[in-house]
Amino acid sequence: MRLTISHRTRFRFARPLGDAIQMLRLTPLSCLNQTVLDWRIDVDCDARLREARDGYGNCVTALYVDQPVTTLTITAQGQVVTEDRAGVVSGLSSDLPPGVFLRPTSLTVPDDALRTFADEIAGRVPAPLDRLHALNASLSERMTYDVATSSVSTTAAEAFATGRGVCQDYAHIFIAAARAGGIPARYVSGHLYRRDGAGTQPASHAWIEAWVEDLGWVAFDPTNGICADDAYVRIASGLDFADVSPIVGARRGGGEEELTVEVRVTSSARSRQSQRQGSGGSWQQQSQG
């Protein structure tokens, strides 16, 4: 599938911003699951951009703003061709040993309730791949999607206790349960093409990849209860959301800020069909939905 993506983040400041340094994880990389045809990051003011890789192999763009501004808009956009590989992720340009992703973090430490949940599924479905599918389905059924009950600091245990959250909460719970059962798992951020035609979305998406011996990394989306297919564009991965936050950094001045995000993901095929038919101090950016 050929997907066109636009991810726009707009900041409004109560007072002029003095200067800022931001780390942007907004750029996808090619692998066997996706081919990046073109991609660019635009900023609506004079700024310096410098691209590098972080410790997880993600593309990171450093953004430097050193002039007074009261608004700042960052737009990442481009085209990606995706392929459905039944969830198996292959051909990443760099990767870490799977064992790294057994390490718990403050957002993914399981409590007793989460361990009991993981143990129950492991006892019922011992084979690792089948267990991951069962975990994926169980979380999709057990949890209720609710944007009003969590934030970027909500832990897996907290979200599991309430039974409500957004995609980052589903991902953190899955990761906590998988690691509790000895299966390496990592957080993935990216974009999802909505097959129901909802091209505009309020945030990027999140899912997980778990390591299965003799198969490799397999991508699961517990929010939707499926494995990732050609509707998914992978941007970055890490131990949890903190490692892949789309925009994070520091600024001087600016006072209170207002943040708005708009994500648009469309397919070329749908666009052609429509044409025929129609003739967040510190800065930690938004949660993922």
User: Would you say residue 226 has pLDDT above 80?
Assistant: yes
CB 229: neighbour CB atoms within 10 A?
18
pLDDT at 176: 98
Assign 18 a pLDDT band (cuts: 50, 70, 90): confident
Distance CA 233, CA 192 (A): 6
How high is the mean pLDDT of the chain?
92
Determine phi and psi for 145, rounding to 5 degrees.
Answer: -70, 125
| pLDDT of amino acid 277 | 37
Find, among 37, 88, 36, 57, the residue nearest to 244 by Cα. Answer: 57
Tell me what percent of the residues of the chain surpass a pLDDT of 90: 82
SS3 state at 224? coil
Residue 265's H or E segment, with its range, is: strand 257-267
d(CA 289, CA 270): 23
Angle between helices 167-180 and 112-124 in degrees, nearest 10: 70
Is residue 165's pLDDT more than 50? yes
pTM above 0.85, yes or no: yes
Lowest mean pLDDT among 56-65, 133-142, 189-198: 189-198
Q: Cβ(207)–Cβ(247) under 8 Å?
A: no
CA-CA distance, 222 to 39, in Å (whole number)?
28
Alpha carbon dihedral 144, 145, 150, 153, in 10-degree steps, equals: 100
Q: What local confidence, expressed as pLDDT, does residue 197 receive?
A: 79
Per-residue model confidence (pLDDT) at position 190 = 98
pLDDT class for 286, splitting at 50, 70, 90?
A: low
Coil, strand or helix at 114: helix
Question: What value does the mean pLDDT take over residues 269-280?
Answer: 41
158 phi, psi to nearest 5 deg: -65, -45
